[in-house]
Structure 1
């Protein structure tokens, strides 16, 4: 009888321990702390924020819970974000190449100014350069690159008449990336670095004559109140990244890795599709409509002519690509030529010495 009691007690204890272990495993939630882009732009409002703050918990049944705030909410400038991801302060970050270029000019390569006018081609460029950036994020930041996505296309908004690319000569133009500065100098204008928050007031006061920013940010930022002209040459796409701390990634089970990768891929595709739509909506709203999202801006929008595009081609070949190749180095440029250059039919070569 005593043996039976001892045996029963062992079974009971084992059962209780198994139940407790299962309960602990069921409650083992992975929390991912994230930082996003600008809270006042639609990419964060419609995609980055909702994805981490709600969607990922829903699709994983709470096994992954995200907590994200924009870098503007956190009072951050951007350049420090990936270093904080590297150190594990954040687990995931959305950002722009300007955040990471100080570590290596290789990060500029998927969005060199003015080379791409079509969003479908820009997606091919992003796909071609993804493995290069994937390696760079791993080496520089101990991070896994998970997505490349565009902001609405970057164009030029001016407070004085613009009829063609030659009218940009001598103008002070706001930029936020080195490659944009190369374009501006290449057309004979003067680049001025400034944050987006300073753009409306600076245009109004004549601190600079034009500003480069995205189509939708130009509309939501009401640049039409201080600038009457838009030159619709696409000088960039504001191509952004989503990257995750590698140590955090490696903590996930294979199942959760696959699920997270799938959901981020769906998010990425949605953002590409919506950017194309937002471009058209923003341009219509900035001009004379129709505009379903607010008032019309009544700006005069000037499309680049064939002659303008020939000038752009010359600037790209003689200024933008050689300057970037010089900054990035011969190995970096050779890799670009094998990837992006092959898509675009272009070559990046430093100036002959």
Structure 2
């Protein structure tokens, strides 16, 4: 074999080696402290916990070990997770992005209500927003974005009888984020700030009349025991949960370890959670109304209130005329333009 062929073969092998996944011996021995989202909800039980305690350690050949808890088990509010992550209290944190918008109002653009009504559209919206979220997490919270996963669409649980969107006028409603609360106020409802775990008691005592959360989250938390009517218009968006790692901790890892974490979390956590979201709403409605099979357990008997065409038109008008312009004032014109050019282009909405 001539020298040129030998050199080319060696170069080809080297290039192939560089392109190949990191070898197990290149993975660092790392112990990570991880704080997940709500411990009692399906996202944590079905996806977060298995990924961090089983999938990632096994993929690393045992070199990555994880100490996992959740913010509610720690006694920490969801809105404090990224602030504590920035301070290095733990290595990885997960929480609902809308919980943290007091610190980063531009993060509200990740989960605008009503612009995505099915999992495919919601995932496209999130992918369009990802570069924005990467910058926000780095600049606001000193962290590296790892994943964005969905809760089910945020629907309305009400104790008093309702027949449509207009019946929310005058009611006290717990929103699932600031943008949703602004939307409710534009409809003539009173937005009330109540912690997720306190909602059933607040409904029973009349502190609130209705509350918004994910369909599966409301089922798992037993909201159906305190609410009688279920309206499926996704007023609260998808309550995206952002997973991020403290930036200094991330940068302390070698390239092979970073590559392993990113590839594993993309395939076995993020993609898996989105794939499962596709059929979740129908199953959740069956569980909450008793109309259909409920594989999750006991069926409830809530009355289903499906949105009318007039409800959808009203919701879209309020979103475009009131909610998004108000967010532009809070987040700033630069972020609103960036949203219009990315997320807005995907969902067909422009902020004037």
TM normalised by structure 2 equals 0.89
Distance 2:241 2:97 in 1: 7
Distance 1:341 1:99 in 2: 22
The worse-fitting range, judged by mean Cα deviation, of 97-106 and 278-287 is 97-106
Distance 1:250 1:314 in 2: 45
1:173 touches 1:208 (CA, 8 Å); kept in 2? yes
- Which SS does the other structure have where 2:307 is aligned? coil
1:263-282 equivalences under 5 Å are: 263-266=264-267, 267-282=269-284
Give the unaligned 5+ runs of structure 2.
1-24
1:85 touches 1:143 (CA, 8 Å); kept in 2? yes
Distance 1:58 1:73 in 2: 25
Q: Does 1:335 align with 2:338?
A: yes
Quote the RMSD (CA, aligned, Å): 1.6
2:36 touches 2:70 (CA, 8 Å); kept in 1? yes
Distance 2:27 2:260 in 1: 18
Q: Does 1:151 align with 2:154?
A: no
- Which SS does the other structure have where 2:113 is aligned? coil
- Which SS does the other structure have where 2:65 is aligned? strand
Q: Name 1:14's counterpart in structure 2.
A: none
1:82 touches 1:93 (CA, 8 Å); kept in 2? yes
Distance 1:322 1:34 in 2: 37
Shift of 1:292: 2.1
- Which SS does the other structure have where 2:78 is aligned? coil
Relative distance call for 1:27 and 1:220 in structure 2 (3 A) is: closer
CA offset digits 1:112-139 (Å, max 9, x no partner) = 2222212211111100010011011111
Q: Name 1:296's counterpart in structure 2.
A: 299
Distance 2:119 2:167 in 1: 26
Distance 1:232 1:280 in 2: 10
Q: Does 1:78 align with 2:78?
A: yes
CA offset digits 1:281-323 (Å, max 9, x no partner) = 1111101232122221111111111111110111111111111
CA offset digits 1:23-74 (Å, max 9, x no partner) = xx89962111111111111111121122112221111011211111010111
User: Which has more radius of gyration?
Assistant: 1
Q: Name 1:227's counterpart in structure 2.
A: 227
1:3-152 equivalences under 5 Å are: 29-152=29-152
TM normalised by structure 1 equals 0.88
Relative distance call for 1:120 and 1:26 in structure 2 (3 A) is: closer
Q: Name 1:243's counterpart in structure 2.
A: 244
Distance 1:250 1:223 in 2: 42
Work out the number of aligned pairs and report it: 325
1:160 touches 1:229 (CA, 8 Å); kept in 2? yes
Distance 2:334 2:242 in 1: 23
Q: Does 1:315 align with 2:297?
A: no
Q: Name 2:10's counterpart in structure 1.
A: none
Distance 2:199 2:221 in 1: 9
